[in-house]
Amino acid sequence: MNKKEMLVAAIKNGTVIDHIPSDKTYQVAQLLDLHNQETPVTIGYNYLSKKLGKKGIIKVEDKFFTDEEISRLSVVAPNIVLNIIRDFEVVEKKQVITPDEIHGIVRCNNPKCITNNEPMSTYFHVTNGILTCHYCEKEQDINKVELC
Ligand code: ZN
């Protein structure tokens, strides 16, 4: 096994999240709520990548994320790949699919929006990479959002 394969294959069962832009690694961990995870989690970054320059990798043992959880990553790292590992083998590669709606996660960038003034969560409709606030209709680019 070469060094590159070892990075991905070192867990028996679980998920290896690869091709994370290095500076987004902790945001991915936050969006997947990994600080509440009870099985071993390995977070690494600044690995050299031909595509990204530097990338992050997160390994989560005995955890398989739902499509809803994976879709949250579209706001920070739409091109990452989740390797599903069973018995040390990659059995599936999942990509992030941008959802039609985003609940919570992202802040509305309109200071007058009700979601910035009342204790309520945000709600956006997503079309072609543009998030439209359900309440005030302010639009923002999915690549420039601010997380809650
Ligand atoms: Zn709004």
State the SS3 of 15-72.
Answer: EEEEEEEHHHHHHHHHHCCHHHCCCCEEEEEEEEECCCEEEEEEEEECCCCCHHHHHH
Query: In this structure, are 22 and 55 located in the same domain?
Result: yes
Query: In this structure, are 88 and 119 located in the same domain?
Result: no
Query: In this structure, are 62 and 41 located in the same domain?
Result: yes
Query: In this structure, are 63 and 118 located in the same domain?
Result: no
pLDDT exceeds cutoff 90 at 78: no
Does 45 fall in a domain?
Answer: yes
Does 3 fall in a domain?
Answer: no
Q: Report the separation in Å between the CA atom of 48 and the middle of ligand 1, taken as the mean of its atom positions.
A: 38
Q: Report the separation in Å between the CA atom of 74 and the middle of ligand 1, taken as the mean of its atom positions.
A: 19
Q: Report the separation in Å between the CA atom of 25 and the middle of ligand 1, taken as the mean of its atom positions.
A: 27
Token digits of residue 99? 């959802």
Q: Report the separation in Å between the CA atom of 134 and the middle of ligand 1, taken as the mean of its atom positions.
A: 7
Does 42 fall in a domain?
Answer: yes
pLDDT exceeds cutoff 90 at 99: yes
Does 143 fall in a domain?
Answer: yes
CA distance to 74, 75, 106, 139, 148, per residue, from 130 (Å) = 12, 11, 13, 6, 17
Query: In this structure, are 35 and 84 located in the same domain?
Result: yes
- What pLDDT was estimated at residue 73? 95
- What pLDDT was estimated at residue 52? 82
Query: What mean pLDDT is reported for the chain?
Result: 92
Query: In this structure, are 59 and 16 located in the same domain?
Result: yes
Q: What is the CATH number of the domain that holds 134?
A: 2.30.30.20
Q: Report the separation in Å between the CA atom of 118 and the middle of ligand 1, taken as the mean of its atom positions.
A: 11
Stretch 109-114: mean pLDDT: 97
Q: Report the separation in Å between the CA atom of 101 and the middle of ligand 1, taken as the mean of its atom positions.
A: 14
Number of domains in the chain: 2
Query: In this structure, are 14 and 74 located in the same domain?
Result: yes
Q: Which residues contact 69 (CB under 8 A, 6 or more apart)?
A: 32
Token digits of residue 124? 């956006």
Q: Report the separation in Å between the CA atom of 112 and the middle of ligand 1, taken as the mean of its atom positions.
A: 8
Say if residue 25 is exposed, middle or buried (CB neighbours under 10 Å; 0-12, 13-18, 19+): buried
Query: In this structure, are 44 and 90 located in the same domain?
Result: yes
Of the residues 77, 95, 113, which one is the last residue of a structural domain?
95
Of the residues 80, 95, 110, which one is the last residue of a structural domain?
95
Q: Report the separation in Å between the CA atom of 37 and the middle of ligand 1, taken as the mean of its atom positions.
A: 31
Task: Give the predicted TM-score (pTM) of the model.
Answer: 0.83
Give the model confidence (pLDDT) of 12-37 as tens digits. Answer: 999 999 999 999 999 999 999 999 99
- What pLDDT was estimated at residue 51? 84
Give the domain range for residue 31: 10-95
